[in-house]
Structure 1
Amino acid sequence: MPPRNGVVVVSAATAEKARKRYPGEAKGFVEEMRFVAMKLHTRDQAKEGEKEVKEPEERPVTKWEPSVDGYLRFLVDSKLVYDTLEGIIEEAPIPIYAEFRNTGLERSEKLEKDFEWFKEQGYTIPEPSSPGITYAQYLKELSEKDPQAFICHFYNIYFAHSAGGRMIGKKVAEKILDNKELEFYKWDGELSQLLQNVRDKLNKVAESWTREEKNHCLDETEKSFKHSGEILRLILS
């Protein structure tokens, strides 16, 4: 091998070593998103959490005092967000969204079944409130002009519900629903495999993004947590 080729190889390796490596980058972009999201949890919510408890919904769930009316407001606003997300994915105003059709993580139909159950128990289903309406509108706007930011919300909404969301649902059901397991917390198929399939799709989509686009996606995580937190807070209203 000519010496100059050897120099080129060494230079490339040196440049790669010198480039900043992002936490989780070696495992794929989803791991980068997970790393950023975990830091925005409290220590009670996740061992990697760094956020101080400031809002009522950030306290341990065991200390919550939920009401059925508040829980219904949370479920209604959540359904509006899922309706919006799933409608955007189906219409795919940006082609890459079509990759995430029919993943098995969709929640709208499940929530519709839950509302039927609540009606049978004599409850009135409320109209969506400001947190859900605001978030849904924001997602629509992002989806048309900012795919990296939109994908950040897609990831955090579905993956958070499959983890901490399930735990919250179980604890709330223990307190106010006589341990009733809602359809919202059930999936058709093995959840771990459904999640892995979506991780693979997300990693594949992100392979075509520049480092700046990836960072832009990661930077949107805090807004995702802010909007989701405002909806979660409805449980305690």
Structure 2
Amino acid sequence: MRTVAMKLHTKEQAPREGEKVAKGPEERSPAKWDPTVEGYLKFLVDSKLVYDTLERIVDEAPVSYYAEFKNTGLERSQCLAKDLEWFKEQGYSIPEPSEPGVTYANYLEELAKKDPQAFICHFYNVYFAHSAGGRMIGRKVSEKILNKKDLEFYKWDGDLSQLLQNVRVKLNKVAESWTREEKNHCLEETEKSFMYSGQILRLIFT
């Protein structure tokens, strides 16, 4: 999944592996971004809805092997709740989730029950992208509009590289039972994952 995902990055985002041509501002290097606090709050709220949805689906496990991904240490929902509370304490108004987040959450709900291979693709991309490019985005945005405030969204308990490796092992184990067609179907969903995540990322500039 990583190889397919990296090809969907731009050269600016991933100089060695990116192949996509940058179109929107969210596909350029975060160093060149011009974010706003209001837009960033929209991004955090919609991101929380997506993580809430992923973590609830995994917890309920409508497909038995989803339970393998409970309590991985990568969960972000509670961290985002703390961050949004911090913004509230600073006097900011917390918006309701907007269309990009609601649309993505609803899509994940549909996939979880009827298309587990596609759901796993989204699970992988949401968590792993945040642990890599997401951290860089958080750092650059914080430098520009939050006086370098370290949000909880970008902190993990324990060794992040080990947490990611543990999840990779579980993902590979689950995929062992899939047919070649099911594996291909999982990989083919990567572009949709990037599309939905990109729509949420774009909120930072609104």
Alpha-carbon deviation of 1:116?
Answer: 1.1
Letter in 2 for 1:45: Q
- Aligned mates of 2:28, 2:59 — CA distance in 1: 36
Letter in 1 for 2:148: N
Superposed CA deviations along residues 76-133 of structure 1, whole A, max 9, x for unmatched, are 0000000000000000000010000000000000000001110111101100000000
Alignment counterpart, residue 172 of structure 1, candidates 141, 144, 165: 141
- Aligned mates of 1:206, 1:63 — CA distance in 2: 38
The CA RMSD over aligned residues, in Å, is 0.5
5+ residue gaps in structure 1? 1-32
- Aligned mates of 1:63, 1:48 — CA distance in 2: 20
**Structure 2 partner of 1:96:** 65
- Aligned mates of 1:108, 1:62 — CA distance in 2: 26
Alpha-carbon deviation of 1:61?
Answer: 1.0
- Aligned mates of 2:85, 2:49 — CA distance in 1: 16
Alignment counterpart, residue 198 of structure 1, candidates 167, 172, 176: 167
Alpha-carbon deviation of 1:60?
Answer: 1.5
Counterparts of residues 113-124 of structure 1 (less than 5 Å)? 113-124=82-93
The TM-score with structure 1 as length reference comes to 0.86
Paired residues in the alignment total: 205
5+ residue gaps in structure 2? none
The TM-score with structure 2 as length reference comes to 0.99
**Structure 2 partner of 1:207:** 176
**Structure 2 partner of 1:44:** 12
SS state of the match for residue 179, structure 1? coil
1:125 aligns with 2:94: yes
Moved over 2 A (4+): none
1:35 aligns with 2:7: no
Identity of aligned residues (%): 78
